[in-house]
Amino acid sequence: MAKEANHPVRTTEKSLALIERLREADGARIRDLVGVAELSKGAVHNHLSTLREHGYVTKEGEEYRLSLQFLTLGGYTRGRTPLYRYGRSKADQLAADTGMLTNLVTEENGRGVYLYQARGDYAVNLDTHVGYRIRLHYTGVGKAILAYLDPERVDEIVDEWGLPMETENTITDRGELHAELDRIRARGYATDHEERTEGLACIAAPIRLDDEILGAISISAPTQRLGNEGFDEEIVGEVESTANELALDLKYRYDG
């Protein structure tokens, strides 16, 4: 996130805290929200009524929930993202060709954000989904992105988010991470061999435009489907060529 604002608008922060709480709690009643941001019952009521009037919150009976307005704004924002605009059909194609789950991920504030997923005929079901935010250090897409960020930025991100261990294969050492990023740059693609989820592997390729890293595209599958020792050359090739096509499309696109 950004450095602290000099003159934060505290009232807005209170509304945002309520929104965050509604998300965590998956909807809540007023009494459950008393105390959030140190707000009283009446104050919670005022904030929720305001958010509701503007369509950001719905009320069913006594229960307040986040509305689909976030999906509307999010869909709009995603639609303005070149990586999504040009990458969606490529991801569909890669999913159809390989039968696997393909992902389109970009970076925001030091984490990955899933922009799109396409499901092939044999796609695995995971906890990830559009909008989902994920640590960069233990995913193929994440490492593919990190490899092409400035090293200082990588360190900033590690400082902020750490290198939490998820499986025994997770990279938890900063030096080891940088070495891995060197390898990724050298060969042009990233892999994830059960670094976040046991039994799951990924092959990911960065998508760059004029030295700027826009994100990455990947396929995820059970480890054995991607080649148990060493990754399957053919599948790696498919991911790489899809990424190359996408990068070219982005470079020579018509609109701004």
Partner DNA sequence: GCGGAGTGTTTTCACATCGAAAACAACCTA
Partner DNA sequence: TAGGTTGTTTTCGATGTGAAAACACTCCGC
Residues interacting with DNA, by CB under 7 A? 6-12, 14, 29-31, 38-43, 45-47, 49, 62
160 lines the binding site for its own copies (CB under 8 A): no
Q: Could you say which of DNA, its own copies, none residue 53 binds, taking C-beta under 5 to 8 angstroms by partner kind? A: its own copies
End-to-end CA distance of the chain: 27
Q: Using CB under 8 A, pick the residue from 62, 129, 152, 211 that binds its own copies.
A: 129
Residue 228: half-sphere exposure toward Cβ, Cα within 13 Å = 1
Q: What is the spatial distance between Cα 29 and Cα 49, in angstroms, rounded to a whole number?
A: 12
Q: Could you say which of DNA, its own copies, none residue 233 binds, taking C-beta under 5 to 8 angstroms by partner kind? A: none
Considering beta carbons, is residue 119 or 225 the nearer one to its own copies? 119
The tokens describing 118, both together, are 């396409």
Q: Left, alpha or beta for 255 (phi > 0: left; psi -120 to 50: alpha)?
A: beta
243 lines the binding site for its own copies (CB under 8 A): no
Q: Using CB under 8 A, pick the residue from 2, 152, 234, 255 that binds its own copies.
A: 2
167 lines the binding site for its own copies (CB under 8 A): no
The tokens describing 172, both together, are 């938890």
The tokens describing 46, both together, are 């005022």
222 lines the binding site for its own copies (CB under 8 A): no
Q: Using CB under 8 A, pick the residue from 36, 56, 189, 214 that binds its own copies.
A: 56
Q: Using CB under 8 A, pick the residue from 70, 82, 225, 227 that binds its own copies.
A: 70
Q: What is the spatial distance between Cα 195 and Cα 105, in angstroms, rounded to a whole number?
A: 17
| Shortest Å, Cβ 17 to DNA | 10
Considering beta carbons, is residue 43 or 126 the nearer one to DNA? 43
Within 8 A by CB and 6+ apart from 15, the residues are 47, 50, 51
CB atoms within 10 A of CB 97: 14
